[in-house]
Structure 1
Amino acid sequence: MTKVLVAFATRFGSTREIASAIAAELIAEGIEAVAAEATSSLNPDDYDAFVIGSPLYGRKWMSVAGMFAAITSERINGKPVVLFSVGTLGVGSPEAGRTEHDEFVARLKEVAPKLNVISDEVFTGYFERSNLPWYLRIIDRFAPTPQGDHRDWAAIHAWANLVATKFKG
């Protein structure tokens, strides 16, 4: 049986909920999966495949997720990896959200060329203005993001199902 680690970073919990939904979908497909925050205490040797995700802020992942992917890439060399990003740029412009994600994934592959990325996806997230630090609230005034939960759960579950198919191979 394939054992999958769904490693994630989150600032306000939205990405944790997406990672949990992905793990639940993998489990429903007969794959042993666990969702856990990306930390150095996770042992990649214990898993056969990986899902790694983070919110996108300023065209990059939270550092803990990016570092997890880059640092563990040597140890997970050859094992299948899928990546997902969560962001709000795609709420107003799906193309811009996709571009931001694609550019980050390309940079990650340059830093960690041994990551065997077999799939990647970007999802819109949850946005609440009150969660922003003061300096981002100022920026948000010029290009406001609509508040609320913009996650497309049907798309998340469909992608997780596709990932399960790839992991079953």
Structure 2
Amino acid sequence: MSTKRVLVVYGSKHGATAGIAEQIGTSLREDGIDAVVAPAGEVRDIRGYDGVVLGGSLYAGRWNGRARRCAQRNSRQLKDCPVWLFSSGPVDSSAEQHDIPPVRAVARQMRRLGARDHITFGGSITAGTPGLLARALVREGKGGDFRNPERIQAWAHHIGAELTAAD
């Protein structure tokens, strides 16, 4: 049995989605999987991986453009390997309370790539998040970090179990 290799790719505007991707990579490594975490804008070739996890931040109902372009650029190879997608974005507890279906562009990518699963995680807007909108939301008391590490880890371990069961 050889070690499985997984590429965890993310499109993140201010770092919250990158943090989720790093947590996924750490959890997969705990499962004995060689996980590489990389920004979507830098991924040109996914050959040599046994699976890909691709995530993007959500802004105004739109999936991160770098994540979208990475999926399009690598679509031929992604169709031939196991793929899981995630989104991050709601800056409230809604992602904890119920499953949030993928936005239209992500649902389209899921169908195109034959993705095995999609999950939406809470996002994060804090005082350190750049931008006028972020500062306004924090000022109005609508900011916070709604990423749930236990939920992220559980999902990553689910992926790890699927990959190792394929042996």
Q: Which TM-score band applies after superposition, normalised by the shorter structure? A: 0.7 to 0.9
User: When the two structures are superposed, what TM-score results if normalisation uses the length of structure 2?
Assistant: 0.83
- 1:155 maps to 151
**How is 1:59-78 mapped onto 2 (pairs within 5 angstroms)?**
59-78=61-80
Tell me how many residue pairs correspond in the alignment. 161
- 1:84 maps to 86
Mapped contact 1:39–1:68 kept (Cα < 8 A): yes
Mapped contact 2:129–2:135 kept (Cα < 8 A): no
- 1:53 maps to 55
User: When the two structures are superposed, what TM-score results if normalisation uses the length of structure 1?
Assistant: 0.82
Q: Please tell me the root mean square deviation across aligned C-alpha atoms, in Å.
A: 2.6
**2:163 is aligned with 1:167:** yes
Q: Larger helix proportion, structure 1 or 2?
A: 1
Shift of 1:160: 0.6
Residue aligned with 2:32, SS = coil
How far apart in 2 are the matches of 1:98 and 1:158? 17
Q: Which string of whole-angstrom CA distances, capped at 9 and with x for unpartnered residues, describes residues 66-100 of structure 1?
A: 110122111222200000110125x154479814x
Alpha carbons of structure 1 residues 159 and 145: separation in structure 2 relative to 1, 3 Å: farther
The one-letter amino acid of 2:45's match is N
Q: Percent of counterpart pairs with the same letter?
A: 29
**2:31 is aligned with 1:29:** yes
Mapped contact 1:57–1:87 kept (Cα < 8 A): yes
Q: Which string of whole-angstrom CA distances, capped at 9 and with x for unpartnered residues, describes residues 111-138 of structure 1?
A: xx1x13111111001112673644x469
How far apart in 1 are the matches of 2:115 and 2:161? 15
